[in-house]
Amino acid sequence: MPTSDDLKQRIEDALPGALVTVEDLTGGGDHFRAEIVSDSFEGLSRIQQHKLVYEVFGAEVGGPIHALSIKTSIPGGAS
Protein backbone atom coordinates (compact mmCIF):
# COMPACT_ATOMS: atom_id res chain seq x y z
CA MET A 1 0.00 0.00 0.00
CA PRO A 2 1.51 3.34 -1.00
CA THR A 3 2.08 6.07 1.59
CA SER A 4 1.97 9.85 1.21
CA ASP A 5 5.76 9.88 1.40
CA ASP A 6 6.05 7.32 -1.43
CA LEU A 7 3.87 9.44 -3.66
CA LYS A 8 5.72 12.63 -2.75
CA GLN A 9 9.07 10.99 -3.49
CA ARG A 10 7.96 9.68 -6.86
CA ILE A 11 6.53 13.02 -7.98
CA GLU A 12 9.73 14.77 -6.88
CA ASP A 13 11.83 12.24 -8.80
CA ALA A 14 9.76 12.76 -11.94
CA LEU A 15 9.61 16.55 -11.68
CA PRO A 16 13.00 17.65 -10.30
CA GLY A 17 12.85 20.78 -8.20
CA ALA A 18 9.11 20.52 -7.61
CA LEU A 19 7.64 21.45 -4.25
CA VAL A 20 5.31 18.61 -3.37
CA THR A 21 2.94 18.00 -0.51
CA VAL A 22 0.87 14.84 -0.37
CA GLU A 23 -1.89 14.12 2.07
CA ASP A 24 -3.52 10.75 2.69
CA LEU A 25 -7.15 11.82 2.88
CA THR A 26 -8.56 8.76 4.57
CA GLY A 27 -5.49 7.24 6.21
CA GLY A 28 -6.23 4.12 4.19
CA GLY A 29 -3.45 4.53 1.62
CA ASP A 30 -5.77 4.82 -1.36
CA HIS A 31 -7.22 8.35 -1.45
CA PHE A 32 -4.64 11.09 -1.76
CA ARG A 33 -4.40 14.78 -2.40
CA ALA A 34 -1.24 16.21 -3.94
CA GLU A 35 -0.22 19.82 -4.32
CA ILE A 36 2.64 20.42 -6.69
CA VAL A 37 4.47 23.64 -7.47
CA SER A 38 6.83 23.15 -10.39
CA ASP A 39 8.52 24.96 -13.28
CA SER A 40 7.69 21.94 -15.44
CA PHE A 41 4.10 23.20 -15.70
CA GLU A 42 5.16 26.41 -17.45
CA GLY A 43 3.27 26.82 -20.72
CA LEU A 44 0.99 23.82 -20.14
CA SER A 45 -2.78 23.91 -19.83
CA ARG A 46 -4.23 22.78 -16.52
CA ILE A 47 -5.23 19.47 -17.98
CA GLN A 48 -1.73 18.88 -19.35
CA GLN A 49 -0.29 19.74 -15.94
CA HIS A 50 -2.50 17.18 -14.25
CA LYS A 51 -1.72 14.55 -16.87
CA LEU A 52 1.99 15.07 -16.20
CA VAL A 53 1.39 14.11 -12.57
CA TYR A 54 -0.93 11.20 -13.37
CA GLU A 55 1.71 9.82 -15.77
CA VAL A 56 4.05 9.32 -12.82
CA PHE A 57 1.74 6.62 -11.50
CA GLY A 58 0.34 5.14 -14.71
CA ALA A 59 -2.25 2.45 -14.13
CA GLU A 60 -1.81 2.62 -10.34
CA VAL A 61 -4.25 5.55 -10.33
CA GLY A 62 -7.62 3.90 -10.50
CA GLY A 63 -5.96 0.72 -9.22
CA PRO A 64 -4.19 0.62 -5.83
CA ILE A 65 -4.43 4.42 -5.70
CA HIS A 66 -8.19 4.82 -5.93
CA ALA A 67 -8.19 8.57 -6.06
CA LEU A 68 -5.49 11.17 -6.50
CA SER A 69 -6.70 14.72 -6.21
CA ILE A 70 -4.26 17.17 -7.79
CA LYS A 71 -3.59 20.87 -7.50
CA THR A 72 -0.82 22.27 -9.64
CA SER A 73 0.82 25.67 -9.84
CA ILE A 74 3.90 27.39 -11.21
CA PRO A 75 6.31 29.05 -8.75
CA GLY A 76 5.41 32.69 -8.31
CA GLY A 77 2.68 32.52 -10.92
CA ALA A 78 -0.93 31.58 -11.35
CA SER A 79 -1.73 28.00 -12.26
Partner 1 sequence: MTNTEIREFIDNAIQENPVMLFMKGSPEQPACGFSARTAACLNALGVRYAALDILPDPRIREELSGLSSWPTIPQLFVNGELVGGADIVTEMYDNGELADLLGAEQPEDADEAATQSEAPVGNVPLPLENRLD
Spatial strand order of the sheet with 67-73 comes to 19-24, 31-37, 67-73
Q: Is 69 in the site for partner 1 (CB under 8 A)?
A: yes
Distance CA 69, CA 18 (A): 17
Q: Is 54 in the site for partner 1 (CB under 8 A)?
A: yes
Helix (H, G, I), strand (E, B) or coil at 33: strand
Stretch that binds partner 1, among 3-11, 15-23, 36-44, 54-62 (CB under 8 A): 54-62
Amino acid in position 13? D
Q: How far is the CB of 70 from partner 1 (least distance, A)?
A: 6
Identified binder of partner 1 from the candidate list 26, 46, 64, 75, rule CB under 8 A = 46
